[in-house]
Amino acid sequence: MNIFKHIRTWLCAFIALVLMTAPVSAIYDFEGIPLQTAAQGEVRGEVLTFGTYGLTAPPIKCTFSLPSKPVWARIYTGVWGGTERYTGWEELSVNNGVPVRRDLFGKDDRHEETFVSGYGVYWVAHDCTDQLRGGTNTITLTTSRGQAESRIDGRSYGIFVVAVVEDDGKPVTRYWIAEGNEDLHGEGWSGTNPTRHDTCEITLEKAPATGQATADLTAVLLASTKGQPDYILFNGEDLGSPVTDLSLYPEGARDIGNEHIGDATGSAGTDSRYIDVETFDVGRLLKETNTIVFERGRDLDGDGEITTIGSQPEGEDYIHPCSVILTVQRPDASPAPDFAVDTPVVAGAYAGEEATIQATVRNYGARPDGTIGVVFSVDGVAVGTVEVEPARSGVQQVETGVTLAEGRHTVSVRVDGGGEADPTDNKASTDLTVGTIPDLSVAIGAPVR
């Protein structure tokens, strides 16, 4: 047996497997998990949100009413871990159904819908489209707080529900629902390797920015602190109202995450410990492509630092943007599909070996009946067609295998949806050079005692 030959074979196979594996997990990162679109689309109806807010010991409940069964819905729960080293669990029950337990592993968490960052701040997503119904719904959350086997703090920041519902009496609504868990923080809150993470952003595309459109932006912030300024910008303009008490804040500051829900635009709002949910009218600022920026503070006195202490702090020690919802209402529109495809990704592309072409298909419009075709091509020649049912979320991954020859190639992906509002962005391409698998060798030296 030639051991070196077998080692080379296994190493090549391992490298190919790693290259072909797309990241799908919300892996813990102290600096945060970027906001990404979890659902998008168009519906004659509306996007509704409900919640129970404020850091408290479980169990907690959220009861609300829906006009009809949702076409897409998600429950988010915020849990405080105390530190990223502690582990525990949360348990969720919807409408007295069987409780579903989710283990919370802190810095070792790999669940694709568990967003944990910083010192154990959790934002946990649950698909509940099939569990919610028209009429009254009740959600109950408990955690392992106080259990003998658990060291996690286990208090909850709250329950946040997003539901997309149809209503023939409402205008057409195009929507984007993004989730993540960014950890915006200063240098004093990053452990033994001081870093700063002052801002984060997300860009949402293909908004129908017409004269009759109205638009709203909703944002969820965890670990927010009253008295420490923070900011949200929409297409470069500050949202919310400037602060008025200049004995507590620097002039020109805003405090969106002030532990007071619903007050950022001047309303009275309600107290909510360490969590903030705000909705803004962004109709006059709406563009086809929209960028939302979160800032933990600003250096207003020009000394090079964002001060978080003293009588007039300039920013938050830390704050976690976790959810963004943009809705655009168009009273003059009719719902229609609107598919697009991101630039394809080719993994494991070696001459004579099977590679994987991966494509992200997005539907910015209404979900059609039946299936759609996703056509994969190499150098203008179709190499495969995959028929898929459009995802309820409006975002889905589609892939196919292909064997490529050595040399330069153009790989394309096209979506055939039919009856679309805008077919101009149904195709995307990428160029790549295909080579041979590296000729690896392994040398085994004399043992060292």
- Would you say 249 and 226 are in contact if contact means Cβ atoms under 8 Å apart? no
Q: What is the pTM of this model?
A: 0.91
- Would you say 242 and 294 are in contact if contact means Cβ atoms under 8 Å apart? no
Cβ neighbourhood burial of 50 (10 Å; 0-12, 13-18, 19+): middle
- Would you say 271 and 54 are in contact if contact means Cβ atoms under 8 Å apart? yes
Quote the tokens at residue 11.
Answer: 């190493």
Reported residue count of the chain is 449
Residue 210 has what DSSP assignment?
-
Residue with tokens 């582990």: 87
Strands 214-222 and 135-143: unpaired
Query: Cα separations (Å) of 337 from 12, 101, 212, 364, 423?
Result: 43, 36, 20, 7, 10
Residue 278 in this model has a pLDDT that exceeds 60: yes
Question: Where along the chain do the CATH 2.60.40.10 domains lie?
Answer: 3-23+336-434
State the Cα–Cα distance between residues 207 and 286, nearest whole angstrom: 8
Share above pLDDT 90 across residues of the chain, in percent, rounded to a whole number: 85
Q: Residue 320's beta-bridge partner residues?
A: 222
Architecture of the domain whose range is 3-23+336-434:
Sandwich (2.60)
- Would you say 121 and 54 are in contact if contact means Cβ atoms under 8 Å apart? no
Residue with tokens 């923080």: 185
Q: pLDDT tens digits for 371-404?
A: 999 999 999 999 999 999 999 999 999 999 999 9
DSSP string, 311-337: SS--B-SEEEEEEEEEEEEETT-----
Q: pLDDT tens digits for 113-167?
A: 999 999 999 999 999 999 999 999 999 999 999 999 899 999 999 999 999 999 9
Average confidence (pLDDT) over 59-66: 98
State the Cα–Cα distance between residues 181 and 320, nearest whole angstrom: 6
State the Cα–Cα distance between residues 233 and 200, nearest whole angstrom: 11
Residue 105 in this model has a pLDDT that exceeds 70: yes
> What one-letter code names the amino acid at 446?
A
Edge-first strand order for the sheet with 381-388 is 381-388, 372-378, 407-416, 427-434
Cβ neighbourhood burial of 170 (10 Å; 0-12, 13-18, 19+): middle
Q: pLDDT tens digits for 325-368?
A: 999 999 888 999 999 999 999 999 999 999 999 999 999 999 99
Residue 29 has what DSSP assignment?
B
Q: pLDDT tens digits for 162-192?
A: 999 999 999 999 999 999 999 999 986 655 6
Long-range residue pairs from 268-274, CB within 8 A, at least 24 positions apart, any chain: 270/53, 271/54, 272/53, 272/54, 272/158, 273/54, 273/55, 273/56, 274/54, 274/55, 274/80, 274/157, 274/222, 274/223, 274/224, 274/225
Decide: helix, strand or coil at residue 7.
helix
Model confidence band, residue 444 (pLDDT cutoffs 50, 70, 90): confident
Decide: helix, strand or coil at residue 22.
coil
Quote the tokens at residue 234.
Answer: 């929409």
Residue 72's pLDDT is: 99
Average confidence (pLDDT) over 15-33: 62
Quote the tokens at residue 34.
Answer: 């970027």
HSE toward the beta carbon, residue 235, CA cutoff 13 A: 16
Cβ neighbourhood burial of 431 (10 Å; 0-12, 13-18, 19+): exposed
- Would you say 259 and 275 are in contact if contact means Cβ atoms under 8 Å apart? yes
Query: Cα separations (Å) of 381 from 163, 376, 409, 411?
Result: 42, 8, 11, 9
Decide: helix, strand or coil at residue 231.
strand
State the Cα–Cα distance between residues 439 and 449, nearest whole angstrom: 31
Residue 192's pLDDT is: 62
Residue 12 in this model has a pLDDT that exceeds 70: no
Furthest CA-CA distance within the chain:
80
Cβ neighbourhood burial of 403 (10 Å; 0-12, 13-18, 19+): middle
Strands 345-347 and 339-341: unpaired
